[in-house]
A and B are shown apart, each in its own frame.
Chain A
Amino acid sequence: MSFTSWSYPLFLAAVVLLYWRLPLRGRMGLLLVASYGFYGVWDVRFLALLLTSTCIDYYCGRAIAGERAPLKQVFTAAILPFLWLLGCSVFQTSCVKPLEPLVIAALFPVLFTALYEMLWRKPEAAQRRAFLLLSIVTNLVVLAFFKYFNFFAGSLLALAEQLGFAPGWTLPTIILPVAISFYTFQSIAYSVDIYRGKAQPARDLLTFAAYLSFFPQLVAGPIERPNDLLPQFTKAAEFAWEHIHRGLRLLLVGAFKKIFVADNCALLANHVFNGQTELNAPWALLGVVAFAFQIYGDFSGYTDLARGAARLLGIHLNPNFRFPYFARGPSDFWARWHITLSAWFRDYVYIPLGGNRAGTTRTLGNLWITMVLAGLWHGASGIFILWGAFHAALLTLYRLVPWLGKLEQAEQAAPVVSSPSPPIVGEGRSEGQATFAVALMFAFTLVGWAIFRAPNLAVLGNWFAAFVNWSPVADAWGKPALWLALHSVPLLLLQLATLPARDEVEFGHWPWAARGLVFVILFMGITSSVVSEQEFIYFQF
């Protein structure tokens, strides 16, 4: 179910109304049913995958903390994915085809229970590490299979064919399950944090299942840490109107960003990057700026909608964006853009690799590995690897060129977020220098977005080539530029207005009449949007 579909507001209203009337256990049950229903609208089959991940990480998490569950209980939980798939194939004959997934699901409870029992026989330290490995490896294998198998296998086949070896194999069509990149990362964070002693495991399967599948953030984050989110599932929140007010405000701003800004800017971005349009420099620039606002409105809008829905249930989710286009350099950018993913890569990849503790060369190596993996996380394609490498190159450049480093005045050593609240533009330096730093980084960001958005290298090459072409080969761009301004300037004004509060949706310091007027403008912007419902970009990741 999409946040911008007509049915979602009704679904959310029903969940919120019921939720506040139930005791804690009832709330968890409701959240689980609602979340599975929410996810099942896309594809009911893949709920089996979510169930599998839930089962593995719940029992691994408890085992890492030294809590052993009865084998019968483990087996009963592990058989649920099979029963689910079986139910799907009984009630919907076309649901499970071919039969392999059903066979694998049937073997899973036996194998998992046996492995669980076997690992408990190891000495304590090795046992904890083994359960951690089991959790990480299973999550990564599932992610790798569904997301990357075709990419890597296809690349290998192509390479083999180039070398004169043509096996003639046909790769299977593997559907990428929605949300898999997000919930696998959240599961890994859960197991690692328990292993590191930073978090306590969930005490019951229902709570953990509700935590892992929590519908507002299931599909595209924010990727939450167990310490931030899990305690909110174990203690019943008290109803307060503040939750409702704040939640509705987040929903309004999120819908505005998605429907008014992103979907309308998408018209220009899609046109420029469709590979068929003849481009000149103004159109190339128009397209990439439109995409910058599209992706920001789309993803930060999604995050606001997720946070708003969670807040209506009294649950706080972490912000994912803090004025990213006001960043003064690449480190600053990653402290403001997709913050929870940046932090994930910092804590679970960059720092374990050694971070910046072993000299410049090693630090740069770690940084490149981290950023290329972050690029690959976005999608199984060379273009995303290139995008990750581009940002790694930017981070390298800002580290190696002193005046660029000074321009950014990075406060953190890591390439990714470390400050929960980065300084606002111009703080602590001259306005001119800050503006130049922001403009330069925005220009770099645009190049990055061109790489990200281009469907292939040929389109990317055409986009770059367009900058030497100032002839009027394309449609007139003046009025389309007005269209872009109409849909991006209100967002920038909103950002400038909320900048002092360092929170993109916080205008509580405004007079109430002004706030009311802003609500009307945002609402009218949403309802006047010309474009029909479009899917969120990050759902494909």
Chain B
Amino acid sequence: MRAASKAFLIFLALLAGAELIVRVFFARNMAGRFDYGYHPTAGFVEQADGVVRLERSGGRRFFPQAFTRERPADTFRIFVIGDSVARGTSVASSYAGQLAELLNARGLKAEAFNLSLPGFGARRKHLVLEQALRYQPSLVILHMNGSNEFEDEREWRRREEFRDWHPRNWLMKSLVIRRLYEMKTEKVYWEWLPASVRNQRAVSDADAEVQAAFNADTTRRWDELVRRQTAAGVELARQRGAKILLLTQARSEKDADGRPRLNDHGLDAMVATSRGDGVGVLSMKEVLRPLDWPPLFADGAHLRPNGHRVLAEALARELVAKGLVPAPK
């Protein structure tokens, strides 16, 4: 009997062939794929014709959008950077798209791009901000939410795992295997199993480590991280000459008596001192409070399109009032 059977050889050949095909033909698509949102330029594809296309950053994909590398001189360019709340279900129905529509209706030539990705916390949003500032935004709206630091941390550890030499990660160095694993996680695991089933146990080592370390101290550390990272973002925007507006998230919760209430989880207080020259602040809680707000929420955090509309209108008013947009011609 030979050392390697024909079946074993075909097994090896199929695996090697698949890996080769992925590496040769899908390499660009894979660039930064396993940095889990921590790749500095992942998702921004600069084309030879001067157009920047938005693609995938880590495991998440930006809404497909494109803009010129150089901002047209007469255009007011807005980038909205946030998480799944700011992302909405489409660019057009999100407050980014609706804000552009409102500003254009007021006679301002504006373009707004939704650079929000689900689960992005302060650290990864800062990387998107750094990249976005290269494309001459007139205004950056940074949607603040303190609830994604867990995911930021977990994704950081996954990135470190992927780069690690440790034998437990060897198999995952294969792009085919890694992609298949992630595809199953995203398209099957997350889609088919209810949260009550998923929450029983950690999906990965990184997940388990982060879950194990989750306590009041960790939460305090992460709150501090959000504060520092936001301050750094504001400073960076200032240095690059871009105006920035901090939009603080409010969640729909219930109080002890079961009545609905809006909770900003301390974000409003955190950014109160940031307001200043070239920096605007808008509290979602303050915007929604006078309204019949519960129907605007799809769940505890995410807004329906009419909720996005309310935010877009409030943003438009705030931008005009604080002089963050030029007066319409």
B9 interface hit (Cβ, 8 Å):
yes
Report A179-200 CB contacts with B as 1/0, cut-off 8 Å. Answer: 0000000000000000000000
Q: How far is the CB of A14 from chain B (nearest CB, A)?
A: 12
**Whole-angstrom CA separation of A274 from B14 in the bound complex:** 41
**Whole-angstrom CA separation of A528 from B174 in the bound complex:** 12
- Point out the residues of chain A lying under 8 angstroms from B201, CB to CB: 267, 270, 531-532
A163 interface hit (Cβ, 8 Å):
no
Report B180-193 CB contacts with A as 1/0, cut-off 8 Å. Answer: 11011100110111
Smallest CB-CB separation from B2: which chain A residue? Answer: A241
Within 8 Å by CB of A530, from B7, B13, B15, B189, lies: B189
Q: How far is the CB of A486 from chain B (nearest CB, A)?
A: 7
- Point out the residues of chain A lying under 8 angstroms from B259, CB to CB: none
Known pairs A6-B168, A527-B171; list 7 more (Cβ under 8 Å): A271-B200, A277-B196, A512-B5, A512-B6, A515-B7, A516-B7, A527-B177
- Point out the residues of chain A lying under 8 angstroms from B171, CB to CB: 527
B166 interface hit (Cβ, 8 Å):
yes
- Point out the residues of chain A lying under 8 angstroms from B3, CB to CB: 241, 244
Q: How far is the CB of A219 from chain B (nearest CB, A)?
A: 21
Smallest CB-CB separation from B194: which chain A residue? Answer: A475
The stretch from A66-74, A108-116, A445-453, A518-526 touching chain B is A518-526
Contact-size category for A: 35 or more
**Whole-angstrom CA separation of A517 from B17 in the bound complex:** 13
**Chain A 501-541 residues near chain B, CB threshold 8 A:** 512-513, 515-517, 519-520, 523-524, 527-533
A480 interface hit (Cβ, 8 Å):
yes
With A267-B200, A271-B200 already in contact, the answer to whether A524 and B180 are too (CB < 8 A) is yes
B11 interface hit (Cβ, 8 Å):
yes
**Chain A 451-498 residues near chain B, CB threshold 8 A:** 475-476, 479-480, 482-483, 486
Contact present for B181 and A267 (CB under 8 Å): no
B203 interface hit (Cβ, 8 Å):
yes
A10 interface hit (Cβ, 8 Å):
yes
Within 8 Å by CB of A520, from B14, B183, B193, B205, lies: B14
- Point out the residues of chain B lying under 8 angstroms from A10, CB to CB: 167
- Point out the residues of chain B lying under 8 angstroms from A277, CB to CB: 196
Contact present for B1 and A532 (CB under 8 Å): no
* Chain A interface main SS type: helix
Within 8 Å by CB of A268, from B11, B15, B197, lies: B197
Smallest CB-CB separation from B168: which chain A residue? Answer: A6
A94 interface hit (Cβ, 8 Å):
no
Contact present for B10 and A479 (CB under 8 Å): no
Contact present for A267 and B167 (CB under 8 Å): no
**Whole-angstrom CA separation of A103 from B207 in the bound complex:** 44
**Whole-angstrom CA separation of A10 from B2 in the bound complex:** 24
A411 interface hit (Cβ, 8 Å):
no
Contact present for A480 and B193 (CB under 8 Å): yes
Within 8 Å by CB of B5, from A245, A271, A523, lies: A245
Contact present for A523 and B15 (CB under 8 Å): yes
Within 8 Å by CB of A517, from B14, B191, B196, lies: B14
B298 interface hit (Cβ, 8 Å):
no
Contact present for A240 and B1 (CB under 8 Å): yes
**Chain B 175-224 residues near chain A, CB threshold 8 A:** 177, 180-181, 183-185, 188-189, 191-194, 196-198, 200-205, 207-208
Within 8 Å by CB of B8, from A480, A519, A527, A528, lies: A519
Q: How far is the CB of A127 from chain B (nearest CB, A)?
A: 50
Residues of chain B having any CB pair with chain A under 8 Å: 1-3, 5-11, 13-15, 166-168, 171-172, 177, 180-181, 183-185, 188-189, 191-194, 196-198, 200-205, 207-208
Most chain B CB inside 10 Å of its own CB: which residue of A244, A270, A483, A516 = A516
Contact present for A528 and B10 (CB under 8 Å): no
**Whole-angstrom CA separation of A7 from B167 in the bound complex:** 8
**Whole-angstrom CA separation of A389 from B194 in the bound complex:** 35
**Whole-angstrom CA separation of A476 from B189 in the bound complex:** 15
Q: How far is the CB of B210 from chain A (nearest CB, A)?
A: 12
- Point out the residues of chain A lying under 8 angstroms from B172, CB to CB: 527
- Point out the residues of chain A lying under 8 angstroms from B200, CB to CB: 267, 270-271, 274
With A486-B188, A519-B7, A531-B203 already in contact, the answer to whether A6 and B197 are too (CB < 8 A) is no
Report A242-271 CB contacts with B as 1/0, cut-off 8 Å. Answer: 101100100000000000000000011011
Q: How far is the CB of B60 from chain A (nearest CB, A)?
A: 18
**Whole-angstrom CA separation of A6 from B11 in the bound complex:** 22
Q: How far is the CB of A77 from chain B (nearest CB, A)?
A: 38
Between A and B, 22 residue pairs with Cβ closer than 8 Å are A6-B167, A244-B3, A267-B198, A267-B200, A277-B196, A475-B197, A476-B194, A479-B192, A480-B192, A480-B193, A482-B192, A516-B6, A519-B7, A519-B8, A520-B11, A524-B180, A527-B172, A528-B180, A529-B181, A530-B203, A532-B201, A532-B205
**Whole-angstrom CA separation of A14 from B130 in the bound complex:** 48
- Point out the residues of chain B lying under 8 angstroms from A533, CB to CB: 205
- Point out the residues of chain A lying under 8 angstroms from B8, CB to CB: 245, 248, 516, 519
**Whole-angstrom CA separation of A248 from B12 in the bound complex:** 13
Within 8 Å by CB of A519, from B11, B192, B197, B208, lies: B11
- Point out the residues of chain A lying under 8 angstroms from B208, CB to CB: 532
Within 8 Å by CB of A245, from B1, B166, B181, lies: B1
Report A424-455 CB contacts with B as 1/0, cut-off 8 Å. Answer: 00000000000000000000000000000000
- Point out the residues of chain B lying under 8 angstroms from A515, CB to CB: 7, 10
Q: 5 tightest CB-CB pairs across the interface, nearest first?
A: A516-B10, A6-B168, A515-B7, A475-B194, A512-B6
- Point out the residues of chain B lying under 8 angstroms from A267, CB to CB: 193, 197-198, 200-201
**Whole-angstrom CA separation of A245 from B185 in the bound complex:** 32
- Point out the residues of chain B lying under 8 angstroms from A512, CB to CB: 5-7, 10
**Chain A 1-16 residues near chain B, CB threshold 8 A:** 6-7, 10
Smallest CB-CB separation from A248: which chain B residue? Answer: B8
Q: How far is the CB of A482 from chain B (nearest CB, A)?
A: 6
- Point out the residues of chain B lying under 8 angstroms from A524, CB to CB: 177, 180
Report A221-252 CB contacts with B as 1/0, cut-off 8 Å. Answer: 00000000000000000001110110010000
**Whole-angstrom CA separation of A524 from B177 in the bound complex:** 7
Contact present for B167 and A530 (CB under 8 Å): no
- Point out the residues of chain A lying under 8 angstroms from B166, CB to CB: 6
Most chain A CB inside 10 Å of its own CB: which residue of B11, B185, B201 = B11
Q: How far is the CB of A265 from chain B (nearest CB, A)?
A: 11
Contact present for A520 and B1 (CB under 8 Å): no
- Point out the residues of chain A lying under 8 angstroms from B2, CB to CB: 241
Smallest CB-CB separation from A516: which chain B residue? Answer: B10
Q: How far is the CB of A508 from chain B (nearest CB, A)?
A: 9
- Point out the residues of chain A lying under 8 angstroms from B5, CB to CB: 245, 512
Contact present for B14 and A516 (CB under 8 Å): yes
